[in-house]
Amino acid sequence: MNFETLRKTMVARQLIPGGVNDPRVLAAMGKVPRHLFVAPALQDRAYGDHPLPIGEGQTISQPYIVAVMTEALGLAGTEKVLEIGTGSGYQAAVLAELAARVFTVERIDALARRARQTLDELRYNNVLVKIGDGTLGWREYAPYDRIIVTAGAPQLPDACWDQLAEGGRIVIPTGDRTVQTLEIVEKRNGQPVRTVRDRCTFVPLIGKDGWADGG
């Protein structure tokens, strides 16, 4: 199976027609080997327009939503980015192509370790992975120029807002546990300026400042 051809087809048939037009984002999506972030049995479906299970009740988001959220960050290449919800590590790899440094937090030990292994094998040396409650951010390396939350949150976690640099931007899906709205929140003079994007569906953001586990 020619995965490079499948990536090019994904970009041409899913991302560009869907309105993704940042050439750097399109190049990153066309480069990162998404099939290596899913189980071997699912690799032939890795470039389809759908999410896939990655174990532990979690999913890898469909390529289109990864591209939309990445484009919404507005990365120029110099940024320090915090990702909440490492999952498979695929989104972190895309970010690593576009930003200077990526810090990603995953609450599920098995997923974090598997993601770290895949990122290491692909030599994404500008990504640091932490196991912990993502709703608390990663204070040690704050402030961040950009923050991306890859799970559905009831609201913007306070720690994420506190750890965002002035002039920075957060991309986050907020809503209930089943349906959310993608929001872009910028910090201007210490105040949030919100832009609402499309409706979307993510697994719940579990943690102290998210949803209770199982509740």
88 is catalytic: no
| Per-residue pLDDT reduced to its tens digit, 79-121 | 999 999 999 999 999 999 999 999 999 999 999 999 999 999 9
Q: Name beta bridge partners: 123.
A: none
Is the separation of the CB atoms in 149 and 84 below 8 Å? Answer: yes
If you search the block for the tokens 């048939």, which residue do you land on?
A: 13
Question: How far is 185 from 192, CA to CA, in rounded Å?
Answer: 6
Domains of the chain: 62-200 (3.40.50.150)
CA 134, 56, 59, 5 dihedral sign is positive
| Per-residue pLDDT reduced to its tens digit, 21-69 | 999 999 999 999 999 999 999 999 999 999 999 999 999 999 999 999 9
HSE-up of 17 (CA within 13 Å, CB side)?
Answer: 6
Residue 153 tokens read as 């949150």
Q: Do the bridges between strand 127-131 and strand 101-106 make them parallel or antiparallel, or are there none, so unpaired?
A: parallel
CB burial of residue 135 (10 Å; 0-12, 13-18, 19+):
buried
Active-site choice (14, 43, 58, 61):
61
